[in-house]
């Protein structure tokens, strides 16, 4: 039977460290003192530090025990032997480990033990033993990973200059191909004269279905074998090495599959090139293979590691990662292998340089204690339960962020979670050179004492790169998770902090570089400064609305051409007034448009298919009159009609409008001037732009609204349809809008009538039930239960309160007739959600809850979140009115669409009730 009890914990904390309590003001002062450089912020004042997973592990008690057993003798302390044999055990022996370290730890090392275990001569692998290590050294201890890189590349380069390495171009280092060079690795290779070729498998930033996280993995860290093959074929003899980084730190900590390592090895073999691994996170990579690669589920981590390394000629490793140690590194290569043959005698040369720069081969710059801790760490890090905890923690960190609407690079990799900052600031009008992601990291330290690192335009020097290279730069913030250090409490705190900044993302500062713009690896040393973001709109109506429309276009999955068409359509209908600057406050001396909640003369709407998540984007606008009279309103509306007809002659027809025009645009001004006409334009991939006009049935008198609509229906040949509508009208129902597709395709063109259901407010169970019943009675596809469920969800806690006296907005029904639908209409119900929720955050909660409740697809739910983000210019909890209406349309086959009506808020949100 399935159980809800989670996996048992993998470790317990026996040593704890109290964390500092500093206030946001205090941290801000310190940030100022360190020139807003996150690397320079004192770690002792942080609550959670995700700057790096390197050397930041909490060691296990076994490692601490080993550390105490450290011996600091200069020549051949026993930590040296332990490390050598740990490497043989872990990287070569699979499950047949010798575990000689256990005896050393227990202090049971007599002469016989030295003779039979530690000093035994052996050769052929990565760690020669006994005399062979002296005569043919192939294993080099170093202080950390980058020292191994320096040693390797500089020595290779020196030997190539002497004619080694078998290149036709003797004397010059050739290319190194990699799935991703860590920055020091790349820098070391480049300094040694190698030419770097990075071939990461394409698709790193491709979306990954959140439901498949933890179920599948597409090994986005792989080497692009096709590109590698092509390069090798095009450049025979010009490649010195293939270097595969496992996991691929350069590519967001993504794993590399066994098949890929095998493929790289066979390419390397075919071209007689040594394959090396950058093995910093070998154990995490092995766990991914075991968990996600076909054929490895039943294999032990020990066996998987053995197979991974069986393909390699050598490797570098920083023991600060999957050595679980705080210091240490190693370089080793296969004795008598291809590399050893190509660079004959390199072992001795490496040893000389090792001794010269780092210390003799017994310790290479590591203390005896650290050798012991790292040796023990190598065993501990391959423990199944540990790895499961480790990878699951990083994965759940990512999933918790996603669940809070924060986009992460997915699936999460092994040691870090990467926030997708393009998505984070989507719709916020930030340019890459604004360094908003740095602003985010500064804000995170200031407010919450959490440190993460920008890995984007600032770190990768976007501003200094040629234009053609800029598009390759990712926009990420990395949260590298130290091993064994943080619990779920820390992760939850961090997720909540990130969510808070996400909700307030419009106010997160940008950053400017104040010092060191041109420095190499400037993120370590440059000075910066946060810059508050100007929230004011410094653009014309058209400029600002086009910006929002473009974001919405992206959010609805449209291509650039569609966005262009829509913004051109907007430019057409907004004409001269669209070019006016948006004033700081709504100018109440001019005509105030009713299309949107705050008086902006444009409203956006997006309809989302609950099943597929496909969306249609529209805007609604009102031509702004030159004066506030009825004649001016009519004149402006008619001008737009003509403009549309002229610009879209093949798809627009005014014939039907002309047939009813006199009913809605009488010569004399109505008692209550609401509108002369509004125009909307929708864009869908299948149909392109579709124009529609909205008219006011009360224009010829409120009391005549029903008669006006009846007459319009009649003139358009819809008498039967109207009879159905009129049969529904009760004493509290009012005809409030009439609309017409301005399409020349008469079969498709719709006539729509909108009915407001008054009497009680929109929370009334009775009104809701009545409206649902009305739809079910005349619309073939309407389901009364679904309509009631929708209304109840939109009313939230207020459902059933039935406060008929407060005069809040009414429910609205829309009935659409067209040649295609025949005599019976397609119905849509509209809920005026802005009038029934304290703020837009509450609206979002209701819509989210509703979509989950009706079983809407993940794609639909994600679409909804993105659409809101595209139009939003403030935290949703700061007010209400942005989310104006939500509607439900039911189509044949039980298909349902929801439409969100969004206010551009050029003049700010509505206040609280
Ligand atoms: C993939 C990779 N290679 C090499 C290194 C360099 O190791 P170290 O920091 O020990 O010099 C790192 C460090 O983060 C790394 O992630």
Q: Are residues 429 and 286 in the same domain?
A: no
- Give yes or no for residue 1 having a pLDDT over 90: no
**Residue 549 has what pLDDT?**
96
134 - beta bridge partners?
Answer: none
Lowest mean pLDDT among 94-98, 223-227, 815-819: 815-819
CA triplet 127, 131, 135: central angle to 5 degrees?
80
Domain containing 476 — which CATH number? 3.90.1150.10
- 478 in ligand 1 pocket by Cβ < 6 Å? no
Q: Where do the H-state alpha helices sit in 293-342?
A: 301-310, 338-342
The pLDDT of residue 469 is 86
What is the distance in A from the centroid of ligand 1 to the CA of 480? Answer: 13
The residues pairing with 602 across neighbouring beta strands, listed in sequence order, are 621
What is the extent of the structural domain holding 481?
Answer: 24-46+386-531
Q: Is 494 in the pocket of ligand 1 (CB under 6 A)?
A: no
pLDDT at 840: 96
Q: Which of 809, 808, 880, 873 is nearest to 841 (CA)?
A: 880
* Domain assignment present for 160: no
Contacts of 1 (CB under 8 A, 6+ apart): none
Ligand 1 geometric centre to CA of 53 (Å): 10
The reported pLDDT for the residue numbered 270 is 97
CA of 364 to the centre of ligand 1 (A): 17
Considering the domain architecture, whether residues 307 and 409 belong to the same structural domain is answered as no
**Ligand 1 touching residue 329 (CB < 6 A):** yes
pLDDT tens-digit profile of 255-282? 999 999 999 999 999 999 999 999 999 9
What's the CA gap between 282 and 277, in Å, rounded?
A: 9
123 plus 188 within the same structural domain: no
431-474 pLDDT, tens digit per residue, is 999 999 999 999 999 999 999 999 999 998 999 999 888 888 88
Residue 283 resides in a domain = yes
| CA gyration radius, the chain | 34
Mean pLDDT confidence for 53-72: 96
Give residue 446's pLDDT.
98
Does residue 11 sit within a domain?
Answer: no
Does 394 lie in the same domain as 377? Answer: no
Give the atom of ligand 1 at the shortest distance from the alpha carbon of 320. Answer: 10
Tell me the pairing of strands 239-245 and 275-278.
parallel
**In this structure, are 363 and 398 located in the same domain?**
no
**Is 97:302 a contact under the CB 8 Å cutoff?**
yes
Contact indicator for 819, 743 with CB cutoff of 8 Å: no
What residues are paired with 738 via a beta bridge? 695, 753
| Same domain (yes/no): 313, 323 | no
pLDDT digits (tens, 9 = 90+) for 397-429: 999 999 999 999 999 999 999 999 999 999 998
The region that residue 60 occupies, defined by phi over 0 for left and psi between -120 and 50 for alpha, beta otherwise, is beta
Better-predicted residue by pLDDT, 261 or 747: 261
Residue 560 phi/psi, 5-degree rounding, is -60, -35
Ligand 1, from 148, 149, 249, 524: best to mutate by most atoms within 8 Å of Cβ? 249
Q: Are residues 30 and 110 in the same domain?
A: no
Distance, CA 324 to ligand 1 centroid (Å)? Answer: 13
285 Cβ below 6 A of ligand 1: no
Asked if residue 728 has pLDDT above 90, the reply is: yes
pLDDT for 395 beyond 80: yes
Cβ neighbours, 10 Å, residue 803:
13
Termini Cα distance of the chain: 50
Instruction: Tell me how far the alpha carbon of residue 121 is from its chain's centroid.
Output: 53
Asked whether residue 54 is domain-assigned, the answer is: no
DSSP code at position 578: G
Instruction: Give 645-678 pLDDT, tens digit per residue.
Output: 999 999 999 999 999 999 999 999 988 899 999 9
pLDDT at 910: 63
Percent of the chain with pLDDT strictly greater than 90? 88
Mark whether 833 and 747 lie in a shared domain: yes
Split at pLDDT 50, 70, 90, the class of 913 is low
What residue's CA is closest to ligand 1, atom 9? 145
145 lines ligand 1 (CB under 6 A): yes
Query: pLDDT band at residue 807, thresholds of 50, 70 and 90?
Result: confident
Specify if 831 maps to a domain: yes
Percent of the chain with pLDDT strictly greater than 70? 99
Query: Does residue 217 have its Cβ closer than 6 Å to ligand 1?
Result: no
Tell me if 47 sits within 8 A of 538, measured CB to CB.
Answer: no
Q: For the chain, how many structural domains are there in total?
A: 4
**Dist. CA 773–CA 785, nearest whole Å:** 9
Distance from the CA of 278 to the center of ligand 1, in angstroms? 8
Helix (H) or strand (E) holding 567: helix 560-574
If asked whether residues 685 and 750 sit together in one domain, one would say yes
Tell me the pLDDT tens digit for each residue of 538-571. 999 999 999 999 999 999 999 999 999 999 999 9
Are residues 583 and 732 both part of a single domain?
yes
Q: Which atom of ligand 1 is nearest to the CA of 248?
A: 1
Closest ligand 1 atom to 318 CA: 10
Angle in degrees, CA 542, 544, 547, rounded to 5: 105
Segment 807-813 shows an average pLDDT of: 91
Tell me the C-alpha distance between 373 and 380, whole Å: 10
Give the integer Cα–Cα distance in Å for 886 and 891: 17
Poorest-pLDDT segment among 58-62, 165-169, 317-321, 807-811: 165-169
Question: For residue range 630-642, what is the model confidence (pLDDT) as tens digits?
Answer: 999 999 999 999 9
695 and 577 part of one domain: yes
The answer to whether residue 170 scores a pLDDT higher than 80 is no
Give per-residue pLDDT as tens, 826-841: 999 999 999 999 999 9
Compute the distance from residue 659 Cα to the ligand 1 centre, in Å: 75
- The H-or-E segment that residue 689 falls in is strand 688-695
Give the total residue count for the chain: 913
pLDDT tens per residue across span 859-884: 999 999 999 999 999 999 999 999 99
The answer to the question of residue 536 being in a domain is no
In this prediction the pTM is 0.91
* CB of 146 closer than 6 angstroms to any ligand 1 atom: yes
Q: Is residue 167 very low, low, confident or very high in pLDDT (cuts 50, 70, 90)?
A: low
Closest CA to 147 of 381, 355, 367: 355
Q: Judge whether residue 705 has pLDDT over 90.
A: yes
Task: Calculate mean pLDDT across residues 614-637.
Answer: 94
50 lines ligand 1 (CB under 6 A): no
For residues 868 and 843, give the distance between their C-alpha atoms in angstroms, rounded to a whole number.
Answer: 11
Domain end residue (candidates: 531, 552, 569): 531
**Tokens for 310?**
């069986």
CB 38 within 8 A of CB 45: no
DSSP 876-906: GGG-B-SEEEEEEEEEGGGEEEEEEEE---T
Q: Is the pLDDT of residue 688 over 80?
A: yes
Q: Is the CB of 327 under 6 A from ligand 1?
A: no
Ligand 1 centroid–CA 453 distance in Å is 16
Domain closes at, from 382, 414, 430: 382
CATH number at residue 281: 3.40.640.10
- Regarding whether 492 and 617 lie in a shared domain, the answer is no
- Please check whether residue 838 lies inside any domain of the structure: yes
What does the pLDDT read at residue 535?
A: 85
For residue 14, is it within any domain?
Answer: no
Q: Whose alpha carbon is nearest atom 3 of ligand 1? A: 182
| C-alpha 382 to ligand 1 mean position (Å) | 19
Confidence bin at 805 (pLDDT 50/70/90): low
What is the model's pLDDT at position 816? Answer: 96
- DSSP result, 361-377: TTTTT--HHHHHHHHHH
Q: Which of 292, 317, 342 finishes a domain?
A: 317
CA 185 / ligand 1 centre spacing (Å) = 8
């Amino acid at each position: 039977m399935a159980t809800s009890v989670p996996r048992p914990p993998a470790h317990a904390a026996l040593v704890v460290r109290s964390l500092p309590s500093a206030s946001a003001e205090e941290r801000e002062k310190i940030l100022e003192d360190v020139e807003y450089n996150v690397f320079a912020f004192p770690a002792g004042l942080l609550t959670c530090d995700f700057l790096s997973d390197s050397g930041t592990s909490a060691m296990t008690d076994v490692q601490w025990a080993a550390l105490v057993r450290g011996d600091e003798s200069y020549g051949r302390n026993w930590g040296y032997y332990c490390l050598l044999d740990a490497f043989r055990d872990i990287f070569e022996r699979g499950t047949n480990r010798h575990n000689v370290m256990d005896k050393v730890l227990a202090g049971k090392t007599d002469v016989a033990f030295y003779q039979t275990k530690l000093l035994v001569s052996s050769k052929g692998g990565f760690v020669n033993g006994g005399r062979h290590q002296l005569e043919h050294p192939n294993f080099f201890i170093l202080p950390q990973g980058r020292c191994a890189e320096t040693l390797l590349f500089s020595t290779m380069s020196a030997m190539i200059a002497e004619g080694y390495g078998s290149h036709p171009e003797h004397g010059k280092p050739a290319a190194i191909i990699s799935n991703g060079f860590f920055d020091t690795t790349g820098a070391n290779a480049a300094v040694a004269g190698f030419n770097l070729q990075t071939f990461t498998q394409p698709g790193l930033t491709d979306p990954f279905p959140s439901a498949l996280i933890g179920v599948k993995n597409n090994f986005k860290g792989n080497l692009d074998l096709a590109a590698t093959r092509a390069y090798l074929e095009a450049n025979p003899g010009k490649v010195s090495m293939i270097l595969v980084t496992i996991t691929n730190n350069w590519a967001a900590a993504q794993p590399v599959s066994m098949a890929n390592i095998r493929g790289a090895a066979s390419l390397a073999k075919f071209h007689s090139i040594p394959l090396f691994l950058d093995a910093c996170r070998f154990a995490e990579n092995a766990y991914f293979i075991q968990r996600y690669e076909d054929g490895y589920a039943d294999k032990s981590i020990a066996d998987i590691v053995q197979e991974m390394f069986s393909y390699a000629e050598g490797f570098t490793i920083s023991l600060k990662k999957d050595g679980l140690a705080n210091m240490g590194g190693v370089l080793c290569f296969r004795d008598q292998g291809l590399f050893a043959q190509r660079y004959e005698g390199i072992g001795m040369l490496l040893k000389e340089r090792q001794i010269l720069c780092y210390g003799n081969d017994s310790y290479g710059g590591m203390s005896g204690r650290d050798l012991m801790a790292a040796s023990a760490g190598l065993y501990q890090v391959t423990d199944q339960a540990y790895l499961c905890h480790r990878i699951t923690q990083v994965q759940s960190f990512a999933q918790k962020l996603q669940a809070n609407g924060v986009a992460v690079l997915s699936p999460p990799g092994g040691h870090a979670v990467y926030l997708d900052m393009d998505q984070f600031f989507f719709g916020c009008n930030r340019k890459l050179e604004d360094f908003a992601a740095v602003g985010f990291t500064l804000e995170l330290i200031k407010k919450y004492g959490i440190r993460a690192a920008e890995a984007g335009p600032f770190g990768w020097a976007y501003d200094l790169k040629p234009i053609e290279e800029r598009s390759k730069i990712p926009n990420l913030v990395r949260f590298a998770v130290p091993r064994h250090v943080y619990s779920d409490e820390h992760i939850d705190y961090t997720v909540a902090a990130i969510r808070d900044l996400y909700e307030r993302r419009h106010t997160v500062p940008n950053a400017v570089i104040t010092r060191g713009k041109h420095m190499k690896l400037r993120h370590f040393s440059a000075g910066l400064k946060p810059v508050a973001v100007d929230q004011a709109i410094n653009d014309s109506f058209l400029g600002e609305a086009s910006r929002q429309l473009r974001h919405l276009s992206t959010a609805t999955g449209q291509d650039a051409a569609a966005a262009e068409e829509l913004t051109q359509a907007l430019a057409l209908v907004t004409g001269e007034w669209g070019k006016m600057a948006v004033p700081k406050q709504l100018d109440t001396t001019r005509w105030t448009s009713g299309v949107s909640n705050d008086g902006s003369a444009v409203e956006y709407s997006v309809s989302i298919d609950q099943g597929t998540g496909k969306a249609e984007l529209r805007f609604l606008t009102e031509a702004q009159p030159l004066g506030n009279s009825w004649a001016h309103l009519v004149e402006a509306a008619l001008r737009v009609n003509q403009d549309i007809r002229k610009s879209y002659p093949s798809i627009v027809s005014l014939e039907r409008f002309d047939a009813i025009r006199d009913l809605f645009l009488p010569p004399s001004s109505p008692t209550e001037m609401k509108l002369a006409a509004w125009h909307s334009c929708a864009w869908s991939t299948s149909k392109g732009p579709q124009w529609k006009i909205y008219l006011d049935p009360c224009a010829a008198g409120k009391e005549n609204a029903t008669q006006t609509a009846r007459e319009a229906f009649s003139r358009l040949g819809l008498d039967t349809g109207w009879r159905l509508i009129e049969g529904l009208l009760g004493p509290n129902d009012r005809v409030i809008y009439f609309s017409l597709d301005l399409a020349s395709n008469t079969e498709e063109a719709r006539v729509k009538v909108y009915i407001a259901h008054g009497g009680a407010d929109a929370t009334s169970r009775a009104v809701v039930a009545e409206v649902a019943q009305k739809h079910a009675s005349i619309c073939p596809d309407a389901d009364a239960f679904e309509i009631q469920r929708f209304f109840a969800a939109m009313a939230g806690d207020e459902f059933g309160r039935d406060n008929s006296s407060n005069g809040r907005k009414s429910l609205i029904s829309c009935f659409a007739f067209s040649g295609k639908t025949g005599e019976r209409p397609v119905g849509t119900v509209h809920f005026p959600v802005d009038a029934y929720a304290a703020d837009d955050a509450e609206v979002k909660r209701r819509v989210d809850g509703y979509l989950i409740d009706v079983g809407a697809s993940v794609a639909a739910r994600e679409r909804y979140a993105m659409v809101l983000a595209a139009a939003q210019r403030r935290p949703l909890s700061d007010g209400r009115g942005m989310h104006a209406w939500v509607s439900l349309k039911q189509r044949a086959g039980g298909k349902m669409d929801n439409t969100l009506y969004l206010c551009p808020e050029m003049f700010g949100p509505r206040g609280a009730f």
